[in-house]
Structure 1
Amino acid sequence: MKYLILIISIATLTSIILGFTLDVDYSQKLIGFGVLGLFFITFPLFSYHRWKDKKVEDYMLNKENLDKMRKREGDTRKL
């Protein structure tokens, strides 16, 4: 999965760079397709790859997690 993300990100960045450097009729389309590929394909794949094995409840601010944070904050103040 990480190699697919790497290949797609290199392809989109190459498309954007070529769109800026080449002086052809379709250079704006190269930039546009590069940006679309970056934001609608690469970023969601990267986010899914990084979050697939994590529990979302650990990152939500609910009463239990707030109590844990307050407890840890109180422990560090004593040092």
Structure 2
Amino acid sequence: MEVLDSALVQTFANNLKRLRKKARISQEELALRSGLDRTYISGCERGVRNPSIISIEKIADALNVPAKDFFEGE
């Protein structure tokens, strides 16, 4: 898959990876907690997926962070 040409998607991807690592959980654990597939989480972190608002909400809930944290400057 090709990296999406979107600054917002890349900001989300970078923040997702940072927040997941801060929580000290694997992509697999985040997938289990959020009810999403591990390959989907991986694609989001690499910026090759364009996640829906519902997926963002599930990921935020699984990490116990507000969804807005994914879109703030790095």
Query: TM-score, normalising length from structure 2?
Result: 0.34
Length-normalised TM-score, structure 1: 0.32
Q: Which has the higher helix share?
A: 1
Bigger Cα Rg: 1
